[in-house]
Amino acid sequence: MAVASISAIALLATACGGDSDSDSTSGGGGAGGEIKAGGCNPENPLVAGNTAETCGGDVLDVLTAKLVHYNPETAEPENDIAESIDTDDNQNFTVKIKKGYKFHDGTEVKAKNFVDAWNYTAFGPNGQQGGYFFEPFEGYDKVSDPKSKVKELSGLKVVDDYTFTIKTSEKVSNLPLRLGYTAFAPQPDSFFDDPEAFGKKPVAAGPYKFDSWDENSSIVVSKFDDYAGDFGGQADKITFQIFQDADAEYTALQAGEIDVVRQIPASALIDDKFKSDLGEGRYLEKENSTLQFIGMNYHVTPELKNVKVRQAISMAIDRPTIVKQIFNGAMTPATGWVSPIVDGYKEGACGEYCTYNPEKAKQLLKEGGGFKGKLTLTYNGDGGHKEWTEAVCNSVNKAIGIDCVATPAVDFKTMLTKLGEDELKGMFRMGWVMDYPSIENYLAPIYGKGAGSNYYGYDNADFQAKMKEAGAAETPEEANKLYQEAEGMIAKEFTTIPTWYGKTIIGWSERVGDVQATPFGSPDLAAMTVKE
Amino acid sequence: MGKYIVRRLLQMIPVIILSTFLIYAMVFAMPGDPTAGKCGERPCPAAYVEKFNEKYHLDDPLPVQYGYYAKNVLQGDFGENQYGNSVAEELGERFTVTGKLAVMALVFEGVIGIIAGVLAGLRKGGFIDNLVLISTLFVISVPIFVVGFAARYFLGLKWGIFPALASGKDPSFYSLIMPAMVLGSTSLAYIARLMRTNIAENIKSDYVRTAKAKGLSPKRIIGIHTLRNSMIPVITFMGYDFGALLGGAIVTEGIFNIMGVGGYIFTGIRNRDGIAVVGAVTALVIVYLVMNLIVDLLYGALDPRISND
């Protein structure tokens, strides 16, 4: 009831605001107009549970509605389809969804649409890229096996049309916060008839509905008139123009062919050229969730076993200079193991050890027993990491005299395989992009015992206990405090060396306004308005 | 003549089979896993990798994989790329764009290159000759991406003479002019120089002297006798170049955001999309072979002494 009245008011309000006299074609109300956004060709059909890259993700962002929506400014979760997500013990969650949400095909969004979609994504034989998001759910082990016969997560139960329950295998206090990721979007019944064909013509419940996808050329979505949520779109139509690279995309922005680019190419970052190209008020710089860091296999390389040696290496990296010279300022020197944009971030967790100080570094190295021989810094050759790894090695070499050599591995997979077989000596580059805006996402998957991205064989019982305690915390504040203590343990042991946080730099044309970047670093297209 | 063409066509079959197998083997034997980097900064879930390998028969030995592929190709099915799109369909679309671009580039380089070469060759050591030599040297020595970026920036963005990009599946003739000029520029330089040398050489040859002695008009001597003979190496070059333009326009297509074959092969290789790469290259091999055949037939028309029978 309350929902219906809110959306009715919202509709009235936006209808009044619909004074657009531009090329507005549909009568959907709102601010109107058309946005042409830079895009790239999605790697997979547009299925929410099978899209882990940004090309498809950007499109699904405006097509789908999830239980939770992340505030583009603060990354704070806000209820979208969810009416409430309640729990008494952080292990049994009851999700109530709002009535009146509709899929683009007109059917209502019901509890079973979530449960069915999630079971499908988690089911191993379906081979969905987003399957691992369901890891905390009870029954995941059985369902996720590639040869599994069990099709349903035992932790999911439909109670009635608008209620379902989630049971996790351990206490997970931040579960509600996770549910805003695309992999948790509901799917309409029609999805299950032919998921492949569906992916070419997706149906979801978000503010925009799918119109057409002209392979390698453009994807068009238009405003969904029956959208019932609070995060509706402003423009009537969004066209994702597909570009082969960031450079061409940026040129198209300058030539007035498109209205917004997802990133500024390296060529325009030099000397902040984009600032004069675009002019004041047409670009945005904001830290994003990317964290680059250096991992070490100190079980394989005994010289790195002493924590002081690891700290010395960290202090020997001149972060600000490398950021300026190699990344043209498109990164920010890191001061901890957690991105500043997420809930629970604590400033300066790394302390003085992330500050360049050759004198102190030399002293630490001496105290730690020194380092003899060659130290390699392995990077994957398929990802453009050559320049900065070399710069890091130069810096280490210059500051404390360790013979550091940046060494390429063919690709990421090869590097990880070598790592898994304990064949990788010395240091290696790593990166992390969050799945959901929480401090926990920077700790559990990377440093948890046996976790998916724990390539370091890190195994610390105290850390495990602290993470478990945080998972069971009563309030988010308490949980964050405990997670910060867990981060403190990583800092104390200096398990990895944080280097820099990524920065989102987007630019737009004079035609559009209200441009914000989502916590995931893309422009928030739904909120963007057309000025003309 | 007919017999010659049939024989040449039959010769193509083993060439096509062998070259596709080689390409297939090279693409699929590349080190590293094709699913590497497909799932962001983390490895793909085991279930996803397994399904992927099964779909593309990646767990079978190479000849078996190729067997599956060749069987489909013989039935006219070029398979699906990693995005699940028909390779034949995508190639068809992309060849239309690239073909348009290549023809425009070929006309541009052919017409201007031949005219410049003839003028320079006739007045060897003169002003035009020096101009042609210096300007072509400049074009040859500057990498094509520099020419492309400069053209895009100045002609496209700054002065707005041409559209800066030629996006989309069906870019207009107008928006393709600049990319075609950039694409054809290097070859233009080679054609001009080739033509110049040939003209300068042939003009001193015996048959030209004979023609002069017979009292033929200079127009006829140059236009028919000298030019026709001098065209043979140029035609060979242009025939080869057309194939190269269709397949090798990776840089130019990237700069002007043209959704053509060059970019298709490039992204295919980068994503380890074997089926897409092999399909595209097979099509290119056929183009090369056909172009070769056409060039050989043209020889006969240009110089009756070269017979195909």
Q: Note the helical H segments in A161-207.
A: 175-178, 195-200
Q: What is the pLDDT of residue B40?
A: 60
In angstroms, the Cα distances linking A45 to A13, A120, A195, B85, B96 are: 36, 15, 9, 10, 25
Give me the residue label for tokens 């590293």: B32
Collect the ranges in chain A with pLDDT lower than 50.
Answer: 1-30
The reply to whether residue A125 touches residue B82, judged by beta carbons under 8 angstroms, is: no
The reply to whether residue B39 touches residue A218, judged by beta carbons under 8 angstroms, is: no
Burial A135-144 (b: 16+ CB within 10 A, else e): bbbbbbebbb
The reply to whether residue B41 touches residue A382, judged by beta carbons under 8 angstroms, is: no
- Residues of B whose CB is below 8 A from A414: 31-33, 36
Looking at the partner chain, which of A243, A257, A453 has a beta carbon nearest the beta carbon of B42?
A453
The reply to whether residue B47 touches residue A243, judged by beta carbons under 8 angstroms, is: no
* Alpha carbon of A255: minimum distance to chain B alpha carbons (Å): 6
Gap between the terminal Cα atoms of chain A: 36
Looking at the partner chain, which of B48, B152, B164 has a beta carbon nearest the beta carbon of A127?
B48
Average pLDDT taken over every residue of chain B:
85
The reply to whether residue A53 touches residue B38, judged by beta carbons under 8 angstroms, is: yes
Whether pLDDT at B43 is above 90: no
- Residues of A whose CB is below 8 A from B93: 215-216
Looking at the partner chain, which of A129, A249, A413 has a beta carbon nearest the beta carbon of B48?
A129
Tens of pLDDT, residues A96-120: 999 999 999 999 999 999 999 999 9
- Residues of A whose CB is below 8 A from B43: 412-413, 416
DSSP state of A109: P
Q: What is the pLDDT of residue A10?
A: 35
DSSP state of A129: G
Dist CA A296 CA A377 (whole Å): 9
* Alpha carbon of A274: minimum distance to chain B alpha carbons (Å): 14
Helix (H) or strand (E) holding A506: strand A497-508
Nearest to B191 by CA among B221, B223, B232: B232
- Residues of A whose CB is below 8 A from B157: 251, 254-255
- Residues of B whose CB is below 8 A from A126: 47, 51
Looking at the partner chain, which of A43, A214, A411 has a beta carbon nearest the beta carbon of B83?
A43
DSSP state of A522: S
Looking at the partner chain, which of A42, A124, A411 has a beta carbon nearest the beta carbon of B47?
A124
Q: What is the ipTM of this complex?
A: 0.77
In angstroms, the Cα distances linking A370 to A64, A295, A374, A402 are: 54, 19, 12, 9
The reply to whether residue A127 touches residue B51, judged by beta carbons under 8 angstroms, is: yes
Dist CA A492 CA A359 (whole Å): 21
* Alpha carbon of A248: minimum distance to chain B alpha carbons (Å): 6
What is the number of residues in chain A?
532
Dist CA B214 CA B225 (whole Å): 13
Q: What is the pLDDT of residue B248?
A: 67
DSSP E strand boundaries for B88-194 = none
Residues of A (424-453) whose Cβ lies below 8 Å from B = 430-433, 452-453
Q: What is the pLDDT of residue A302?
A: 87
Q: What is the pLDDT of residue B245?
A: 87
The reply to whether residue B32 touches residue A216, judged by beta carbons under 8 angstroms, is: no
The reply to whether residue B83 touches residue A127, judged by beta carbons under 8 angstroms, is: no
Dist CA B214 CA B202 (whole Å): 17
- Residues of B whose CB is below 8 A from A201: none
- Residues of A whose CB is below 8 A from B31: 410-411, 414
- Residues of B whose CB is below 8 A from A257: 164-165, 167
* Alpha carbon of A5: minimum distance to chain B alpha carbons (Å): 41
Q: What is the pLDDT of residue B8?
A: 87
What is the number of residues in chain B?
309
* Alpha carbon of A368: minimum distance to chain B alpha carbons (Å): 32
Q: What is the pLDDT of residue A433?
A: 86
Q: What is the pLDDT of residue B83?
A: 67
Between these two residues, A501 and B25, which has the higher pLDDT value?
A501
| Residue A445: closest C-alpha in chain B | B42
Please say whether the beta carbons of A304 and A312 come within 8 A. Answer: no
- Residues of A whose CB is below 8 A from B36: 382, 411-414
Neighbours of A78 (CB within 10 A): 13
Please say whether the beta carbons of B148 and B139 come within 8 A. Answer: no
- Residues of A whose CB is below 8 A from B32: 382, 410-411, 413-414
The reply to whether residue B42 touches residue A452, judged by beta carbons under 8 angstroms, is: yes
Tens of pLDDT, residues B71-104: 887 787 777 776 667 888 888 888 889 999 999 9
Q: Is pTM beyond 0.80 here?
A: yes
Residue to mutate among B35, B42, B44, B253, with most A CBs inside 10 A, is B42
The two most distant CA atoms of chain B are separated, in Å, by 83
A412 in contact with B, Cβ within 8 Å? yes
Tens of pLDDT, residues B108-133: 999 999 999 999 998 888 899 999 99
